A and B are shown apart, each in its own frame.
Chain A
Amino acid sequence: MLSLYIPGSSFLHRMPAGIKLILLAFLSAVLMPVTEPLVLAGALGLALGLYALLGKEGIRQVQLVRPLLPILVILLLLHAVTGFVMEGVSVVLRLLTMVLLANLVTLTTRMDDMMAAVAPMFRPLALVGISPRRPALAVTLVLRFVPVLLAVYGALSEAWRARTGRPASWRLIAPLALQALKLSDHVAEALIARGGADGLGRPAAARPPRRLS
């Protein structure tokens, strides 16, 4: 299973999350107009080098791009058919580099640091009475529960195969959705049990008065 974070202390881990996100946006903007395949190949090499810096686990994470490969092949073929092979190569190299760089940020940033980095963007929500902590927490929960939902899907397809002898079918979508809803209920309960999305920290007087639900 691919994990979303590799523990470590590389310079990428030590770099503040905000800087990483800004650098990522900057690099993506810079790569956009580049069409020279050699330059793009160099950028890809650099990105791979950064993964190598993270050690064995980092190199293993490069396989994250595997599900992208069919799409990249199609892109390349489309360009080849229309007679723009080199442009196709550029597009593929650029996409690969960008995906790898973006994933590198995820791999080297702890969730709470990421939350703290993106929370200021949600600050305007306070104007309409929504705590900026909530959307940040929602993002965290999505990342936390991707592997859990994949495991639920795995269990469902196993159960399906055990009783039909056939590989997983689209029919699993409904039970998966139901399980996901049930899971979200459990998680909501667990969050409330530890003080809810807004926490217990603020003194009662500072909390907006609300009625009992």
Chain B
Amino acid sequence: MAFWSRNVHGETTAACDPRRADYAVFSNVTLLRSGKTVLSNLSLTLSERRVAVIGLNGSGKSSFVRLLNGLLLPDNGEVQVYGADTRLVRAELPRHVGFVFQNPDHQAIFPTVAEEVAFGLTQLGEDRTVARAGALKFLGQHGCAALAERPFHDLSEGQKQLICILSVLVMRPDLVVLDEPFASLDGLATRQLMRRLVGLPQKLVMVSHDLQLIQGFDRVLWIEDGLLRMDGEPGTVLPAYVDDIDRRAAAEPA
């Protein structure tokens, strides 16, 4: 569907309160996509600084994180983000929840880096020249001044994803959601970006297949077939997950 035919502006009757510690509350959330149940009866509360979401492809991870910024709305139950029902504050959610997608080429809207970063500021209502100055300053603060005038498609994959992350951060969200942000990056770029991410003051919710990266997180949600299979500290959830996929792989004929 084309972007101009999507209507994301619901009438706002409630407001997000970014000071709330429990930034997301899922109550009996069921989500359907093209008739299939993607998440069923999910209830949980998120208040940790670093939350990882793991699971096999098609388990419902991406749908789960899309409920956090209103890209998807529950068919049943309720998702509250910073205390407000996402159905009521959908249009305002991008102010509070930044979203980084898997493929940088699907996220960048402008042909050059500075324009891409400035876009976030014009979205917040800044005037064009102020937004540009703000974007250049922000790029400088993050050591990317040299990239400002570069065409986006000329950047390395790591640089592309870094610019996508900065384009989200420049909007000063309270929570940053990342959907497999390192899927197309090499090991070095992944670690460089990860260092920046864990240093952020924002809350993070990240989908990842790279289990090494999320060992230092505060909480891991393991989603399987639309259900929360396990929820806890990485020290308990990650070994159980690895055991499970090893067992399944071994059950297949070689």
On A, residues with C-beta under 8 Å from B are 1, 3-5, 7, 110-112, 116, 134, 137-138, 140-141, 143-144, 147-148, 151, 183-202, 204, 207, 209-213
Contacts and interface: CB of A to CB of B under 8 A. Distances in A.
Contact of B151 (A3, A212, A213): A3
A213 B114 CA distance: 33
Given A140-B109, A200-B123, A202-B125, 10 more contacts: A5-B151, A110-B114, A112-B128, A144-B109, A144-B152, A186-B103, A190-B109, A191-B3, A201-B123, A213-B7
A195 B95 contact: yes
B125 A199 contact: yes
B125 A200 contact: yes
A194 B168 contact: yes
Contacts of A185: 1
B101 A186 contact: yes
Contacts, number: 143
A213 B110 contact: no
Contacts of B124: 195, 199-201
A110 B119 CA distance: 13
Contacts of A209: 11
Interface residues of B, number: 52
Contact of B92 (A7, A190, A192, A200): A200
A3 B125 CA distance: 30
Contacts of A191: 3, 109
A interface: dominant SS: helix
B120 interface: yes
B6 A213 contact: yes
Residue of A151, A195, A210 with highest tally of chain B CB at under 10 A: A195
B121 to A, nearest CB: 10
Interface of B: 1-4, 6-12, 69, 71, 87, 90-92, 94-95, 98-99, 101, 103, 105-112, 114-115, 118-120, 122-126, 128, 132, 149-154, 167-168, 171
17 contacts: A4-B111, A111-B111, A137-B109, A140-B109, A184-B3, A185-B1, A187-B109, A193-B71, A194-B171, A195-B95, A195-B171, A196-B8, A199-B122, A201-B125, A204-B12, A207-B9, A213-B6
Contacts of A188: 1-3, 6
Contacts of B98: 193
B113 to A, nearest CB: 10
Contacts of A140: 109-111
A204 B14 CA distance: 12
Nearest to B177: A193
Contacts of A137: 109
A194 B99 CA distance: 8
A3 B98 CA distance: 29
B122 A196 contact: no
Contacts of A192: 3, 6, 8, 71, 94
B1 to A, nearest CB: 6
B187 to A, nearest CB: 23
B107 A190 contact: yes
A182 to B, nearest CB: 9
A124 B103 CA distance: 36
Contact of A212 (B10, B92, B108, B150): B10
Residue of B90, B94, B128, B167 with highest tally of chain A CB at under 10 A: B94
B101 A195 contact: no
A112 B132 contact: yes
Given A112-B118, A192-B6, A193-B71, A144 B123 contact: no
A116 B119 CA distance: 13
Given A111-B111, A199-B124, A138 B153 contact: no
Contacts of B7: 210-213
B188 to A, nearest CB: 23
